[in-house]
Structure 1
Amino acid sequence: MSDPEDIRKRRPGKTLQARKLRQTETEEEYRLWGDLRNPQLNGYKFMRQAPLGAYIADFLCREARLIIEIDGFQHADNMSDITRTLWLNQAGYSILRFWNHEITQERRAVLDTILAALERRIVQRDDILRFYPAIIRTGKLRT
């Protein structure tokens, strides 16, 4: 029997939902995608609107297990975002969040921050940068 919490498991309707989100992207998603697509950021490959378990990540670099989220005002102190972030962190993904205005007004700084996370120069939780690292589970020692 499969694990319902398995992040690789496809959830009904999530692929269709991700396709619709790609077709109705925000201006900020469009701008950032222009910088992330076709391994332009130091060779790192990103996907946009990538289904992960019950959620859809705005941008995902599978190689680095890094999710980039672009947030509008509705995400300020949003409890469902906190729950989502914790679930994705426990699944082994780090999350880096940016506000919409950061994409439009400070894109170079946004790209520098993304690159720092990709290159593991940011590894600890940072509420100012809005970086939430993966929670690494350690297994039992074998004897």
Structure 2
Amino acid sequence: MKPYNKNLKQASRDLRNNMTEAEKLLWSRLRGKQILGLQFYRQKPILNFIVDFYCPSANLVIECDGGQHYTDEGLEADRVRDEALAQLGLKVLRFDNLQVLNEIDAVVERVFEVISLQLESP
């Protein structure tokens, strides 16, 4: 299990109960071990962050990004976050909400490709 801030447990629960439309759609394609039989978790605390989706078997984090992520502050916060997660050996995949809503099949295919590569590498 990856280290996490236990104070984020309630916030994580709240986010699971209030997912965005893009998160709901992507979750419908990740849940139930639909991709290579691997378990995903949603709104999972890791370090001092809550990641949208996490697959421990593939060391993969998936983020659905809304508009706030594309400001200067948002881009910098994501860079710091991705760097911290990378230090734990996690790969972060980012998709913007419109991409998830309009191109879900392509998004799922990309997730499949990345997981396949992650599982091949030592």
TM over 0.5: yes
1:1-143 residue pairs with structure 2 within 5 A?
8-76=2-70, 77=72, 78-120=75-117
Aligned-pair CA distance for 1:91: 1.1
Instruction: Give the helix-richer structure, 1 or 2.
Output: 2
Residue by residue over 1:25-60, the C-alpha shift from the partner in whole angstroms, topping out at 9 and shown as x without a partner, is 100000110000010112111000011011111000
TM-score normalized by the length of structure 1: 0.76
Other structure's SS at 1:18 match: helix
Over the aligned positions, Cα root-mean-square deviation in angstroms equals: 1.7
**Identical pairs, percent:** 35
What is the alpha-carbon distance in structure 2 between the residues aligned to residue 118 and residue 81 of structure 1? Answer: 21
Structure 2 stretches lacking a partner, 5+ long: none
Q: Which has the larger radius of gyration?
A: 1
Aligned length: 116
* Aligned-partner residue type, residue 30 of structure 1: K
Which deviates more, 107-116 or 12-21? 12-21
* Aligned-partner residue type, residue 64 of structure 1: A
What is the alpha-carbon distance in structure 2 between the residues aligned to residue 12 and residue 67 of structure 1? Answer: 19
Alpha carbons of structure 1 residues 8 and 41: separation in structure 2 relative to 1, 3 Å: closer
Q: Bigger relative contact order, structure 1 or 2, given CA contacts below 8 A and separation 6+?
A: 2
Other structure's SS at 1:82 match: helix
Aligned-pair CA distance for 1:13: 1.8
Moved over 4 A (4+): none
What is the alpha-carbon distance in structure 2 between the residues aligned to residue 117 and residue 66 of structure 1? Answer: 9
Structure 1 stretches lacking a partner, 5+ long: 1-6, 124-143
TM-score normalized by the length of structure 2: 0.89
